[in-house]
Structure 1
Amino acid sequence: MNMQGLGFRLYRFCLTIWMVILSAKAFPEKQCLVWCCRVRLNSWVIERSNGQIAENRVSTFSHRNVKQVAICQKFPPCKGSDNRRSFNMFSPELSDADFRRFSKLVYDKCGICLGGGKKELVRARLNKRLRETGIDNFKDYYRFLTKQDNGRELVKMVDAISTNVTSFFRQRTHFDFLRETVFPSVKESQNRIGSRRLLFWSAGCSTGQEPYSLAISFLEYFGRRNSHDLRILATDVSTNVLEQAQRGVYPAVCLKGIPQTILRKYFQRGYGSQSAKYRIKESVKKLILFKWLNLMEPFSFRHAFDLILCRNVMIYFDKNTRERLVGKFYNCLVDGGYLIVGGSESLAGSDHRFKYIRPSIYQK
Structure 2
Amino acid sequence: MLFLSIALMYACSKNEGELKPEEKSVIFERPSNFPDPAYNFENNMLTKAGFALGKKLFYEARLSADKSVSCGSCHQQFAAFTQLDHKVSHGVNNCQGKRNTPPLVNLAWQKAFFWDGGVKNLETSPLNAITDACEMGTDLETIVAFLKSTAPYLALFKQAFGSTEINSQLILKSITQFTGVLVSAHSRYDKVIRKETGSVFTDAEQKGYNLFKEKCASCHKEPFFTDFDYKSNGLDIISTDEGRAHITGINSDKGKFRVPTLRNIEYTSPYMHDGRFYSLDEVLEHYNSGIKASENLDPLLKNGIPLSEPEKEQIKAFLKTLTDYEFIKNTLYSET
TM-score (norm 1): 0.24
More RCO (CA 8 Å, sep 6+): 2
Larger Rg: 1
TM-score (norm 2): 0.25
Q: When you count strand as a share of all residues, which structure comes out higher?
A: 1
